[in-house]
């Protein structure tokens, strides 16, 4: 365990195991803009603005990891960046066209990933119970070698607060592009000494929001979070801020790649919502993403003149509560609570129909000699409560479900089979 502050202030050139692991464990997320996802979602995703192809993003991700793990650092990544750009014919990115622009873009990609991964590794270290017992205070440290220091960052230098102070939720460095500030941990004795010296309370107005960035004043857009703090959180923030904002073909393809890696986490998040709703028998419009429309279905719907706004499929606790109540009172066509509890897994295996009368998607699968029919209303506006925001969103929502005879789906012209796994 580090015994002094100097030991903690390592730089980009000296990566440590937790930092490298943080980089390796990120999921590659094709994107057009860096701020397509916000704040803590970056803990889970490796993105490069404009890198929308999976193979390009994979090469960039591996190049960052290799440069960091080998200790060769930014100079190694600069070389890799040039060859990757040439290999994939990547164009249209900021900085393209000049050696200076290419060097700047490579530096931004590498340093941003190294600074946030360093901070994430430090967060993990500093929040370990044994560590907190010995060093419960955290201190903001400004890098004095910065040529053009940001006045507010400089004013926070030396600020020492308990580790659970709200300040650290938004001001845990880095706090912007190129920010080289650090957070270190200190003993209770040092923390109390800082308080006596006038550095034990954040400045007045520290949590004032800059309307231009949506972040506290002095912090760049999207940097108002603590890297690494959300590693163990549900992926719902990532999905809510990314998948719902992507065109359906891109989102469906992305989920086909990422879905298997997130299946267990997705199911655990859903179980939490179902169990909580069943216990309280109350709804708050909380929503969980339970599935994503398959790429094949997106394409077939387009051929039929139906363009999805996005590929995400959600279910709110409002509709879930109705389904749970029905399961307790209607023994005929109602689906059981156990069925709804495993809904994400079941939808992964379901056949997909279109209801040509109501323009809904129908997810159907065998159950006890009959079929379970889950109705998804597409391009529907609902008011939802997601982690981080409450708003009206347009997406695809599970509205209801029931037990039906399979022959009812395959006879007549109302239901047309689109896709069968």
Render pLDDT for 56-83 as a digit per residue (tens, 0 to 9).
888 999 999 999 888 888 999 999 999 9
pTM value > 0.85: no
Q: Which pLDDT belongs to residue 41?
A: 61
The mean pLDDT value for 26-49 works out to 67
Residue 4 has pLDDT above 50, yes or no: no
Q: Which residues of 197-221 are buried (b: 16+ CB within 10 A; e: fewer)?
A: eebbebeeebeeeeeebebbebbbb
Check: CB of residue 298 under 8 Å from CB of residue 248: yes
Half-sphere exposure of residue 275, counting CA atoms within 13 Å on the CB side?
6
Render pLDDT for 296-354 as a digit per residue (tens, 0 to 9).
999 999 999 999 999 999 999 999 999 999 887 766 788 999 999 999 999 999 999 99
Q: Tokens 């590794």 map to which residue?
A: 121
Q: Which pLDDT belongs to residue 165?
A: 96
Render pLDDT for 372-382 as a digit per residue (tens, 0 to 9).
999 999 999 98
Token output for 187: 């003993």
Separation of alpha carbons 184 and 162, rounded Å: 12
Q: Which pLDDT belongs to residue 89?
A: 92
Residue 391 has pLDDT above 70, yes or no: yes
Residue 184 has pLDDT above 90, yes or no: yes
Residue 85 has pLDDT above 50, yes or no: yes
The mean pLDDT value for 355-380 works out to 92
Render pLDDT for 152-180 as a digit per residue (tens, 0 to 9).
999 999 999 999 999 999 999 999 888 98
Share of the chain above pLDDT 90, in %: 52
Half-sphere exposure of residue 230, counting CA atoms within 13 Å on the CB side?
24
The secondary structure of the chain in percent helix, strand, coil, rounded to multiples of 5, reads 45, 20, 35
**Other C-beta atoms within 10 Å of 404: how many?**
17
DSSP calls for 300-334: HHHHTT---S-SEEEEEHHHHHHHHHHHHH-SSSP
Q: Which pLDDT belongs to residue 186?
A: 96
Q: 3-state class of 419 per DSSP?
A: strand
Separation of alpha carbons 91 and 104, rounded Å: 15
Share of the chain above pLDDT 70, in %: 87
Q: Tokens 């520290």 map to which residue?
A: 206
Residues 6+ apart with CB under 8 A from 65: 20, 23, 24
Check: CB of residue 73 under 8 Å from CB of residue 12: yes
Tell me the domain boundaries of the chain. Answer: 5-216, 236-419
Render pLDDT for 213-253 as a digit per residue (tens, 0 to 9).
889 999 998 888 888 776 655 555 566 557 787 889 988 88
């Amino acid at each position: 365990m580090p015994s002094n502050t100097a030991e903690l202030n390592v730089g980009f050139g000296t990566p440590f195991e937790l930092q490298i692991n943080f980089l390796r464990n990120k999921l590659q997320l094709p994107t057009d803009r860096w701020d397509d996802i916000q704040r803590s979602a970056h803990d889970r995703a490796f993105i490069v603005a404009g890198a929308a192809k999976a193979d390009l993003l994979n090469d960039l991700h591996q190049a960052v990891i290799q440069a960091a793990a080998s200790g060769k650092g930014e100079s190694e990544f600069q070389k890799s960046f040039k060859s990757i750009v040439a290999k994939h014919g990547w164009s249209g990115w900021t900085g393209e066209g000049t050696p200076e622009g290419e060097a700047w873009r490579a530096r931004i990609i590498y340093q941003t990933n190294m600074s946030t991964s360093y901070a994430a590794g430090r967060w993990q270290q500093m929040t370990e119970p044994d560590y907190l017992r010995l060093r419960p205070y955290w201190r903001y440290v400004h890098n004095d070698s910065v040529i053009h220091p940001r006045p507010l960052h400089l004013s926070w230098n030396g600020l020492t607060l308990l580790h659970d102070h709200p300040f650290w939720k938004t001001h845990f460095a880095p706090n912007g592009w190129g920010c080289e500030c650090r957070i270190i941990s200190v003993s209770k004795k040092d923390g109390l000494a800082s308080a006596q010296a006038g550095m034990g309370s954040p400045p007045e107005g520290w949590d004032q929001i800059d309307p231009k960035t949506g972040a506290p004043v002095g912090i760049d857009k999207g940097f108002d979070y603590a890297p690494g703090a959300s590693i163990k959180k549900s992926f719902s923030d990532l999905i809510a801020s990314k998948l719902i904002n992507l065109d359906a073909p891109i989102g469906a393809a992305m989920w086909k790649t990422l879905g298997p890696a997130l299946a267990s986490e997705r199911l655990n998040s859903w179980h939490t919502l179902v169990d909580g709703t069943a216990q309280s028998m109350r709804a708050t419009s909380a929503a969980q993403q339970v599935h994503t429309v398959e790429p094949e279905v997106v394409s077939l719907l387009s051929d039929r003149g139906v363009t999805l706004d996005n590929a995400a499929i959600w279910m709110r606790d409002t509709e879930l509560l109705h389904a749970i109540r029905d399961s307790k009172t209607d023994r005929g066509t109602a689906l059981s609570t156990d069925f709804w509890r495993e809904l994400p897994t079941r939808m992964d295996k379901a056949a997909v129909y279109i209801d040509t009368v109501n323009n809904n998607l129908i997810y159907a699968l065998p159950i006890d000699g009959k079929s379970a029919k889950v109705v998804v209303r597409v391009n529907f506006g609902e008011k939802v409560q997601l982690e981080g925001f409450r708003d009206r969103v347009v997406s695809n929502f599970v509205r209801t479900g029931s037990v039906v005879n399979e022959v009812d789906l395959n006879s007549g012209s109302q239901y047309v089979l689109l896709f069968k796994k």
